[in-house]
Each structure stands twice: as structure tokens, then as C-alpha cells.
Structure 1
Amino acid sequence: MTRFRFFHAADIHLDSPLRGLSSLEGSAVARVRTATREALDTLVGLAIEEAVDFLIIAGDLYDGDWRDYKTGLFFAAQMGRLKKEGIPVYLLHGNHDAESQITRRLDLPDNVHVFGPRSAETFVLDELKVVLHGQSFLQRDVTDNLVPQYPPPVPGAFNIGVLHTGLGGMGGHANYAPCAIDDLTNKGYDYWALGHVHQASVLHENPHVVFPGNLQGRHAREVGAKGATLVTVEDGDIVELSMIPCDVVRWAVLSVPLADVERFGDVIDRIDDAVEAAIPTANGRLLACRIVLEGRTAIHDQLFASEDRMLAEARARALGLGDEVAWVEKVVISTQGEVDSETLAEREDAIGDLQRLLQEATMDKDLLVQIEDDIGKLVRQLPHEVRGNIDDGVLRAVVDGDFTALINEVSPYLSARLTAPEE
């Protein structure tokens, strides 16, 4: 009986810069900064512990061009650990890797086999009767379907296709190397090791089409367990497929209802309770969380006026739960005041004037054109990755060029700032 096992990983984004941390300090922040390295270290340790026969990395090992060689040297050292144990690695370069010039010049240990970018390439593992087919990205924006260029399956072998693809733009990811599920399932391969989409999913079985997700969540849009897929094959059939967590920081978005809250101190208590309740979901890892305050509350205006203080106190409470147990990344105010905007607009004072002005602004074509002239041109100069990774509602509206939505986003904030009591 022929039996083998392999790890399928992707989207490691080694040393990916984590936005918003440059001015912050503390052991929890340091853990978040080094999380992608620690996750790779964990993966390599698990590969050795599980004695897998090989490791596949299906693109975006790196995160664009490096500042120096330290990123590549760290990866080379990790691959050296696998070489010592006789574990080969099959690496495909994705869109982020294609940006890196250093990637092409760094020598890696000879157990690392890199798929070429000019055409699909095949590696053969004779003892296991396994063949791997794949093609790296030559440049970032690969808009062609690469699957037709992959060779036909090798008879009598377990055929694995390695591909970095948006698969039609799944999960809002850029649709690089676009293809359809039918393109993959009709190819005749036994397993498709995909990369690029950061949410783990098994899209088809027999043949298996698998995204392992990214190895480590990097922000609050990448919540839950992250890791790699461990595949066991016996006599040409996949008998077990498991997602193995490798993350060292686990992200979560925690909703905190404030409908019955009337004191600022109670808000901090609610945040504290939500964080503490979520800690077990991290399974011993650092819980990095974004807090979303929701509901109609009497202190809606006060929350906006005390935003910085609230974040500081929430972080202090999280630190009080223990060293590197939890960290609060951000507090998002999505509450509503007890008095709605229509009622405010009926007031005969400055607050009513402001509310009526904001309501009329969305229909003021001259104002919208002016906003477009002042802001739109600047936003269009932002790199694609920056524009694609914005989750703030105000900035999202600006990037999308939806200036009516922009006015609707800032209106509650302006009203709250004007009506909030002074601290």
C-alpha cells in the first residue's frame, strides 16, 4: 500500500507590515508584529513532527519587495530545518512574490523546488508516485487563465496542481489567474493546491479543490483559526484532510450591545466582559480583537467625544487579564442616539441647522463635484493593496468614489461631536 502525507500552505505573507502598529508598544504588539514569522516556524515544526513527505506553498510566501535580506534569510533558515529532515518543499510564486526583486536573487536550500514562471512545470516524486504541476507568476497582474497550459495528468500517479488564483474573485480578492471550478475538476488531477484566497475552504471533493487560507491572520478581517491543510493519501485516494492551526495570534471582531447602558464606565465593563468571554476561542494564543459598539443608547454622543479614552481603557483592561492574553486593536462606534436624525433636523438651533445641512448635502451636485476634486484624485493615487484593504466606512466610501455615502458616514459623527457633553 502506497501511503504519504503532505502539508498544503499558502499566503504566508512573511514579515507583512501590520498597519497601525508603528506607534504602539508592549509585548502583545510585539507578538502581533512577529506573528507571520512565528506561524511559519510553527508550520515547519509541525511538518517535522508529523514527518510529512513534502510541503507545498501555493504562492504569496512574501509580501512584496523586502526592505532587506532578513526576510529571505529567515525563510532559508526554516527551509534548512526541513532539509535536515529530508522534507522537500514545492514553492510557487504568487502576485505578491512577483513584486519582489530580491526573491529572484536569493539562493535557497536545494530541497526547495520553485515552479518556473514562463510555463507550467512538473516535478516528479518517483518513490511516492506523485507528480506536481504548477506555474509561478511572472508579474503581479496575471489576467490569463493558466489552467489550460498545465500538462495532462500522468497516468498511474497522484497528480497535484499547484495554482495561485482568484477563482472568479472569491472573498473580494483580486481575480488574478482567473478560472472556474470546472476548469480544475475537468483537468484530471487528484488534488488542486490553491492559494490567494485567505479563507480556508474545500470547494470540491474527488478531485479535491482546496484553499488552505492564510497561515496567520493579519488584521480584523481575517478572523478565526488560520493554518495549513494536512492531507493523507492511501493507494491514490485522499483518506484524511485536516486544517491544522499554525497561527500564534487569533483575530476576532466582538459585538458589544449598549442598548441599556447609561454610564461611560458601564461601556468599559461591557467591553471587558466581551473580551474575557472570547479568550477561550483563541485556544491559548493571543486574542487580538476589534470591538464594535452597537445599539441605540443615551450616551451615543459621549462615546464619540471619549473615543481615545475608551480605547486606552479597553486596552488597559485587556492587559489586566494577563501577559499576552488579549489585545484590543480598535473600538468602532456603531451606536445610534436615542433621538434620530429626523428629530434633530426639526430643532430650531445650530444642531438642527447642521442636521438639515447634512441632509441637503447628499443632493448638492456642486458639493459632490468639489469633494471629488479635492479628495478623489488623491485616493486614486493609492496603491491597489492599500485601497483594497480598507475597512473603515468613511475611507471605504472615499475609495469607492461614493461621496453621498461619505456624507452619510460622517453625518452621525459631526452631530455627535456637536451635541456631546464636555468631559
Structure 2
Amino acid sequence: MIKILHTADIHLDSPLTSLALRDEQLRANIQSATRSAFVRIIDTALSEDVAALLISGDLYDGAQRSAKTAAFLTAQLERLQVAGIPVFYIKGNHDAENPITGEVTLPDNVHVFDGRGGKVQLADTDIWIHGVSFSGKHAPDSLLNKFAAPVSGAVNIAILHTSLGGAVGHDNYAPCSVAELAAMGFDYWALGHVHKRQVHSEAPWVVMPGIPQGRDIGEAGRKSATLLSIDEEEITVTEIPTSVVLFLSHAVDLSGAESDDDIRQKIRADLHEMTSELGRAERTILRLSLAGHTTRHWHVLRDRDVWFETVTQIAEETGRLWVEKLSFALEAPRVASDKSATEELGQLMAKIAAEDGFVAQAQAEVEEVLSQLPSACRTALLSDPAALATLTDELAKAGSEHLFASMKGASE
């Protein structure tokens, strides 16, 4: 049995972006999460006694020069060198942007494929590793023509950084189809670039391992590397957990809660149960929502700031959970047919918020506030042409809902 570990898109020193990082303790603990995930990969390679480590591009994150990153990377790869484990690495688009990619002298056990492509036999085995790196920051065309034919009678593994047919949130690089990969005759395609893990095919294996450490709620859930076990010519794959910080969305059902004590008890029980299910040393950043039906509906919405602080403290009691954002998806109580003045006012506010004149004025005021923010913050909030309208609508709804809840909470 020969084992090989496959990873990609490590993005060393890529910052984790989260409002929860305002917590000083949390920020100190996870500022090096991408490094910690890479250490787990190296630890796994050693504990599983693998024959090789494959890195399918984007080992680095971007154009920032970092001597510390270079020293860290060299030290980790030397751990494999001491154990006699070779590393096969192709450069992706982010690697091509990074100055230290070409300046760091990697240990002798690391083979970096260039843009012309090539193949290397794995020690004394009948396994051949093929790879093609990006020659520059972009690869708008397919790189499949740079791969030599598989070696006859051997197990052939190909390493490629590609978006395949395209993926949301990822540039369309080195495009190709799963059918085209299958037709090439390789036994395993070790892909990289798309951050969501997916096994596209099992005959042959076409595996996108995903990013080993999520960086925000858009990369939620546990992340992993892929372990290949090769027995003669048969290959099986296993997911190996790598992430040290999780981003998760979670809802707490408050149905049946008749008092604030009941609500706190439900939240505490739910979050402590979640903590018990976490893996080793995992810290979790939550986007939490309060859902269900409770007689305290309006009071919770009225006092949402208080509840955010309450939920935050309950989460931090666990030592493993931090709340990034709290939203409210509570079911509104049924109203009697004879509407109260408060309910009529609520309907009126909703009607006004939808009027063109109000929308235009509200957008202008929101745009004025945004103009006072640093450009990076504005870019994050206004990611596309429709973002201003969406943000204004969300703020208007939140404001009218809060006012309505304040009136209802005071009257009940």
C-alpha cells in the first residue's frame, strides 16, 4: 500500500476576515490559521508515512513579500525532507503573483514543475507524477496540451490548477472539462483552484480537494486534504481534516420559550451541544440566527442589541465559539382581524419604504455615509452595481422593523 497526500489552495498568511476578530483573544489565536492548517498537512504526511505530498497550486496568497512566511515554509518542508518524503508542487495564479515564489530556495525534496510541464517517477515505484505550472498570473487557455502521455503499465497522477468549466467566485483559468481529463488516460487528477471540495469523477479520479482553511463565511464548514491509498493499480481516497477555524451558519429554535430565562436556556443548551460536536482544537465563528415562535417575539426584536451581547457572552462561555453576526428569523405572532394603531403604523412604514421618492433619498443618504469610509470598506460593501440598492433596502427594513418592535414590545 502506497499513500500520497493531495492538497491545494493553502494561501499561506491569507487573512481571515470576520467581525468576530474584534475579539482580541480570538484574533491572537487564529491570525496564523492558514499556517496551522499547513502544519496539520505536514503532520498528517508524517503520521501516515506517505510516499509524497502533492500541492496543486496557490501555496502562497498574493503579492506581499514575507521573510517569515519563507522561513516557515522552508522549515515545514524540511520536516518532510528529513523523513524522505518528496513534494511535488505546481504554481497557480496566486503563486505567480508572489515575489518570494522565485526567491526562496526550497529544500531538495521539493520538485517544482515549470510552465512547460514534465513528469517524475516516484522513487522505485511504478507511479509517475505529471504536472504543469502557470507561467504567469493568468492562464486563459487550457494547459492539457502541455501534459505528456501517461506512462504505459504504471499509475499516472496529473497535477493541474484549473477552474474546469468555471466556478462562482473564481477566475476562469486553464479551462477544461471532466470529460477531457478522463480522455487523457491518467489515473488520478490532483486539481486545485476552486476552494470547495468536490470529487468530480472516480473513474478516473478527478478530485478538487478544496481550501484546507476557510477564511470567511463564504468558505464555511470543515476543510480537508485528500489522502490517496494505492494498492497495485487500485486507488481509494479519504478526506483528512485540516482546518483549525470553522465558519458556520446556525439557527437556534426558540419555539416554546415563554420568558427571557427560557430563551437564554435554549441558546445556552444549543451552543454547548454544538461545542461537544466540534473536532480537535477547532474554533468556530458563527453567523447565528434566532428562529421559531416565542411570545417574547417583539421584546427580542426591540432589544436586539442586548440579545446580541447576551448571545455573544453565552458563546464565549464555551471557549470555542464566537458570534460574528446575529440575525432574527422569528415568526411574527398572529394578529387579530381588528388592527391596532401600532399595526397600521407598521404597514404604513412598509409602504413608505417602498416608494420611489423615499428609496432615492435613502440611497443618497447611505451613499453619503459610505463616502466617509475608507475605500477598502466601501469596496467591500459595494461589491457590485446593485449593492447600494440592496444595502439601502436592508437598512430601511431593519429600521422600520426595529421601530415597530419597540412600539409592540412597549405595548405588550
Which of 381, 384, 396 aligns to 1:399? It is 384
Structure 1 window deviating more from structure 2 (229-238 vs 119-128): it is 119-128
RMSD of the TM alignment (CA)?
Answer: 3.5
1:257–1:120 CA distance, 2 compared to 1 (3 A): same
Q: Is the 8 A contact 2:132 2:146 kept in 1?
A: no
3-state SS, counterpart of residue 277 of structure 1: helix
Tell me the residue number matched to 2:354: 359
Distance 2:367 2:303 in 1: 32
CA contact (8 A) 1:6 1:230 kept: yes
Could you say if the C-alpha distance between residues 149 and 202 of structure 1 is closer, same or farther in structure 2, counting changes exceeding 3 Å? same
Shift of 1:169: 2.7
Query: How far apart, CA to CA, are the structure 2 residues paired with 1:76 and 1:230?
Result: 22
The answer to whether the Cα contact below 8 Å between 2:363 and 2:392 also exists between their aligned partners in 1 is no
Does residue 199 in structure 1 map to residue 208 in structure 2?
no
SS in 2 for 1:128: coil
Q: Structure 2: which amino acid aligns with 1:220?
A: I
Residue 410 to residue 168, structure 1, CA distance change in 2 (3 Å): farther
**Aligned letter for 1:70?**
K
> How many Å separate the matches in 2 of 1:205 and 1:344?
62
Amino acid aligned to 2:327: V
CA distance in 1, matches of 2:241, 2:279: 10
Residue 333 in structure 1 maps to residue 331 in structure 2 = no
For residues 183 and 29 of structure 1, do their structure 2 counterparts lie closer, same or farther at Cα, with a shift above 3 Å needed?
Answer: same
Shift of 1:54: 0.5
What corresponds to 2:94 in structure 1? 96
CA change 1:177–1:346 in 2 (3 A) is farther
Indicate how the Cα distance of structure 1 residues 113 and 235 shifts in structure 2: closer, same or farther if over 3 A, else same.
Answer: same
Work out the percentage of aligned pairs sharing the same amino acid. Answer: 34
1:242 match: 238
1:213-224 matches, within 5 Å, as: 213-224=210-221
Measure the CA separation in 2 of the matches of 1:122 and 1:237. 21
Q: Structure 1 residues 190 and 363, CA, compared in 2 at 3 Å: closer, same or farther?
A: farther
Q: 1:262 to 1:142 in 2, by over 3 A?
A: farther
- Going from structure 1 to structure 2, the CA distance change for 1:406 and 1:250 (only over 3 Å counts) comes to closer
1:189-227 Cα shifts (integer Å, max 9, x gaps): 110001122222221112100111221233333333322
User: Does 2:30 correspond to 1:32?
Assistant: yes
CA contact (8 A) 2:21 2:27 kept: no
Deviation of the 1:186 alpha carbon: 0.7
Contact conserved, 2:20 with 2:322, CA < 8 A, in 1? no
Kindly report which structure 2 residues correspond to 1:14-163, keeping only aligned pairs within 5 A, or say none.
14-19=12-17, 20=19, 22-26=21-25, 28-66=26-64, 68-116=66-114, 118-163=115-160
Distance (whole Å) between structure 2 residues aligned to residue 174 and residue 271 of structure 1 = 40
Partner of 1:252: 248
State how 1:366-381 maps to structure 2 within 5 Å.
Answer: none
Q: Is the 8 A contact 2:6 2:228 kept in 1?
A: yes
For the residues of structure 1 that align with 2:312 and 2:364, how far apart are their CA atoms?
39
Per-residue CA deviation, residues 22-79 of structure 1 (Å, 9 max, x unaligned), is: 53212x4433322222221121112111111100011121221335211121111100
Identify if the C-alpha distance between structure 1 residues 216 and 402 changes in structure 2 by more than 3 Å, giving closer, same or farther. closer
- The one-letter code of the counterpart of 2:47 is E
Structure 2 unaligned blocks of 5 or more: none
Q: Do the aligned residues in 2 keep the contact of 1:254 with 1:292 (CA within 8 Å)?
A: yes
Q: Structure 1 stretch 228-237 or stretch 214-223: which is displaced more?
A: 214-223
TM-score normalised by the chain length of structure 1:
0.82
Change (3 A) 1:412 1:377: closer
Residues 312-369 of structure 1, C-alpha deviations (whole Å, 9 max, x = no match): 3223223323xx43333332334454479xx8999665x55532221223997x6699
The answer to whether the aligner puts 1:290 opposite 2:275 as a matched pair is: no
The structure 1 residue matched to 2:401, chosen from 399, 410, 416, is 416
Q: Cα 1:183–1:275, aligned 2, differ >3 Å: closer, same or farther?
A: same
Residue type of the alignment partner of 1:75: L
Distance 1:345 1:300 in 2: 19
Q: Under a length normalisation based on structure 2, what TM-score does the superposition of the two structures give? A: 0.84
Q: Which residue of 1 aligns with 2:207?
A: 210
2:164–2:177 contact (8 Å) kept in structure 1: yes
Shifted more, 293-302 versus 47-56: the winner is 293-302
* Cα distance change of structure 1 residues 228 and 378 upon mapping to structure 2, 3 Å threshold: farther
Kept in 1: contact 2:65–2:100 (CA 8 A): no
- How many equivalent pairs are there? 402
- Seen in structure 2, the aligned counterparts of structure 1 residues 378 and 317 have a Cα distance that, compared at 3 Å, is closer
Separation in 1 of the partners of 2:216 and 2:166?
Answer: 20
- Deviation at 1:80? 0.7
User: Please, which runs of 5 or more residues in structure 1 have no aligned partner?
Assistant: none
Counterparts in 2 of 1:363 and 1:297: CA distance versus 1, 3 Å: farther
The residue identity in structure 2 corresponding to 1:158 is V
